[in-house]
Structure 1
Amino acid sequence: MSDPVIIKPIPGAYAFEAAGEEAGWSQAAQLVGLGLQLNGRTDILNMNDDAETLDIPQVPRITHRMPIYDLESFLRSRKVQLPFQWNIFHGWSQPTNRRMFESNQIVPPDFQTAEFAELVDDVSPRLYEETLNRHSDTDTRAAEALLHLSQFSRYQVVRVVAAAILASQRLRLWWPTIEALADGCLSESDTVQQIAADTLSRIAPRHPALLELLSQLGQGNQPGASSAGTSIIIPGTWARFRSLWWQPGGSLFRYLQQEPGKFEQADATLLPVGHDLYEQADFYRWTDGLSGTDQTAAAHDLAGWAGAREVLDFKKVIAHSHGGNVALNAAALCGMRIDLLVMLHTPPHRRSNETWDQISEVVQRIISMRTKFDLVVLLDLCWSTVKLTRTTWKFPKKRVHNWTFPFWFSHGTLTDPDVWMERGIAKEVAAAYALTRPNAKPTTSPTTLTW
């Protein structure tokens, strides 16, 4: 599975007027901007330069109060006629009394037709333009209608993002939301699959599409018969499905065992970043749960896994997504020692200065590598609207070296060895690790780099 590498996104209304892969992902980003506002996270957009580049509109009065009946009426007032009645199909495990529904069918048979996708193509630009008109009392209704109708977009990423945003409202879920998320669990895109699985696990944890993914998970950790390396890769949430890049023999794992040193003459004196990666059959893996409790349990499990193998000090830990939070929790709660922690696409959690002090005592250096406007990280923020549990957009500059790469939207680009090779990332990681060694020259405070 892979995501498109997008260097130049399509901003604002132009995204809905264009066609193609970049247009689809750029449309999804616009919806995420609306979703953040819908969930009271306008602060994220205000502090995010990426949102300005994307020209995401501000819709101050946006709420989610439009019943499906009003939505259909709103669309009809704009000469838009849906090819079915939204509310006569009960969907999968619809959380309402089924006697309300007039049809025994779960979903309409023609809702995924090309003709309907063309209708969405035609209507979406008009609805988006209405969201820009603050002098009208319909800007918020147009934004809500755009989110609902986008669940039928020709682009899977748009369908799944729209469904995830509507699901985050925790209100009545109609069949298009569940259908889009179930389909997203089968996506060939790492980012789309993670968004779909994250959301479906919150609202319909027994859905067959999600259970099918869970059935693909590997077995738990068992002690190995021999010693091995003292560096590891920790996968993120849902990474254990069909993504093997992080496992021994996987694409990034193999690459890190070779680079730097094998392909670049200038690095001939350096050991490969992953020369000491643990590659026994009992390599570490966790249950991939979304909750803080799951990640705390995984942190204790990681510390126990290391103790069972007499690993007192991890040299390098490379962690993807919430795997980075597992590593940080293991440091804070269990005192697990790490020389260099490299986090890829990790959603920042709010931590107290006291917690960061505990982490700093046992972790010598932390690098956070991120892409621009990571859709998974931002949608994670949509689910954390309670003030006391709100997550943040970036890790604190005084604690973490933040490296931003010029790739847009993806939650998996930085797990691709081709990207590491193209950008010379292994060389920089090796240099960062060298600074943790005895007799290394003192360094300045953490840096913020844009590649």
Structure 2
Amino acid sequence: MGDAQPPRPAPDERFAPVFGAAAFEGDPPGAVSSRAGHFLSMGTAAFGSPEQTADVRDDAEALGVPFVVPATEGDLLWSDQSNLDRLTRFALQDHGASDARDWQGGAPPRADDELALWHNVELTHSVPSLLALLNHARGSEHELERVAAAAALRAFSNGALEAADEVLAAATTSADEHVAAIANTALRRSDGGGTEPAQPTRSPTGGSAPTTFAAAEVSLAIHGTWAQVTADPWYAPGEPLHRHIRAVSTPNLYDESDYYTWSGGHSQFARDVGSAELPIWRNALTLPPFDTVFAHSHGGNVALTAAANGERIRMLVLMHTPALPRPDEQWEAIRAHVGRTVVMRTRLDHVVLADGLVNGSSQRFDQNRLPHHPVVLHWANPDAWFSHSFFTELGSWLKYDLAGTVIRQHRYVEQLV
């Protein structure tokens, strides 16, 4: 008899999708997350690029999100708060379920009114209909919902709507890490509420970097933005996921206390500095080339830029990484220096969508620019949606044998060298 396996984790009910109009008909946690997914994906369609709109379309349609036409210069009339409040009041009077003549911006929305405004977007596909819904929702009693609505409003108005920015500013220090990440992303906060770079949090499990693989390469885990303010330093030696990856799929995963970190700042400058420091760190420790790099969120872009600058990575595992726009010559250099890429993502990841509204990033990588093996659960799976941390959780790796995926993909790349 082998060792008993831990029970399979149940889907996180907070991120369980509620499809279509039903998301606006109740307040279970999954419905609130689904409404946030509606606001961010409709905001992407209305205020993002054609490429971003195409990127979210399949997932948005699976969730039952109405399509919205791209915003035009004429829609900027509504970037004045008094005009937007008047638009919202008219929309409520025409389509709402209650008398809204006395409605004031920021007032808690009535569920019937919110559903009516959503149906109006479904009917008209227009930006004004969407803006009325978002402005109405920024008064929600649910922090996640009002922050998602405010993030979309900020993207539309480029910060001109102060009421939306007030919602976001209040949420930057939220006790809910997911909400705080959306707010800090939308406001382009570089520090995420923290001041110090990530530091080792536990003692390593011991031993120098193993040399099991024939090329004596070393593997590495790279954290994402604001790692210093997260409760789960998954990337640190001694942490459960780090131990699991090292034990099951990647025995050469770096396991010393001087492991690599970067500032975690939410800026291109911070990511570029982190990319430049990666080979410096490796050379300072006289480490061999990288075998497998596991990178979360914008830590993936740190690794990609390092590869574009010449750092060789046999296999890159990207978890919840926003696909930033890059010139073709960068993608060509990345393809030349990365042997194989695995992309793990959730559908309509709230934080990645918020990043897209400020950075022009997408949730998916173009197979022509970065050939990769995608790891995405089927849309009907309750685990498939919204989370920005699903693939950094040990329970997810155990439940879906993600270490097995790493092993299998590594075998493919071994044939290329």
Q: Does 1:22 align with 2:27?
A: no
**Contact 2:60–2:348 at 8 Å: present in 1 too?**
yes
Aligned to 2:77: 65
Instruction: Give how far 1:327 is off.
Output: 0.6
Q: Matched residue of 1:319: which SS?
A: strand
User: Could you list the runs of 5+ residues in structure 2 that have no partner in the other structure?
Assistant: 1-10, 94-98, 211-217, 379-383
Instruction: Give how far 1:396 is off.
Output: 2.7
Identity of aligned residues (%): 30
Q: Matched residue of 1:185: which SS?
A: coil
**Contact 1:10–1:22 at 8 Å: present in 2 too?**
yes
Instruction: Give how far 1:369 is off.
Output: 1.1
| TM-score normalised by L of structure 1 | 0.75
Aligned to 2:8: none
Aligned to 2:209: 228
Instruction: Give how far 1:227 is off.
Output: 4.7
Amino acid at match of 1:257: R
Aligned to 2:285: 309
Match of 2:20 among 7, 12, 24: 12
Aligned to 1:80: 100
Cα separation, partners in 2 of 1:183 and 1:381, compared to 1, 3 Å: closer
**Contact 2:15–2:33 at 8 Å: present in 1 too?**
no
Cα separation, partners in 2 of 1:308 and 1:120, compared to 1, 3 Å: farther
Aligned to 1:447: none
**Contact 1:151–1:180 at 8 Å: present in 2 too?**
no
Q: Matched residue of 1:294: which SS?
A: helix
Aligned to 2:195: 215
Instruction: Give how far 1:24 is off.
Output: 0.5
Aligned mates of 1:273, 1:185 — CA distance in 2: 36
Aligned mates of 2:332, 2:127 — CA distance in 1: 44
1:256-295 to 2 correspondence within 5 Å? Answer: 256-258=245-247, 272-295=248-271
Aligned to 1:177: 165
Amino acid at match of 1:147: L
Aligned mates of 2:120, 2:27 — CA distance in 1: 20
Runs of 4+ in 1 over 4 A off after TM superposition: 5-8, 81-84
Q: Does 1:360 align with 2:335?
A: yes
Amino acid at match of 2:77: R
Aligned to 2:154: 167
Aligned mates of 1:301, 1:247 — CA distance in 2: 18
More helix by share: 2
Aligned mates of 1:6, 1:72 — CA distance in 2: 31
Aligned mates of 1:129, 1:42 — CA distance in 2: 24
Aligned to 2:366: 396
TM-superposition CA deviations, 1:369-396 (whole Å, max 9, x none): 1111222222222224xxxxx4444223
Amino acid at match of 1:433: H
Q: Matched residue of 2:20: which SS?
A: coil
**Contact 2:88–2:133 at 8 Å: present in 1 too?**
no
Aligned mates of 1:231, 1:155 — CA distance in 2: 41
CA-based RMSD of the aligned residues comes to 2.9
TM-superposition CA deviations, 1:279-313 (whole Å, max 9, x none): 22221111122332321221111111111011231
Aligned to 1:405: 377
| TM-score normalised by L of structure 2 | 0.80
Cα separation, partners in 2 of 1:73 and 1:6, compared to 1, 3 Å: closer
Amino acid at match of 1:332: A
Aligned mates of 1:287, 1:360 — CA distance in 2: 26
Q: Matched residue of 1:405: which SS?
A: coil
User: Could you list the runs of 5+ residues in structure 1 that have no partner in the other structure?
Assistant: 87-110, 259-271, 385-389, 444-451
Amino acid at match of 1:244: P
Q: Matched residue of 1:152: which SS?
A: coil
Aligned mates of 1:370, 1:321 — CA distance in 2: 10
Instruction: Give how far 1:27 is off.
Output: 0.5
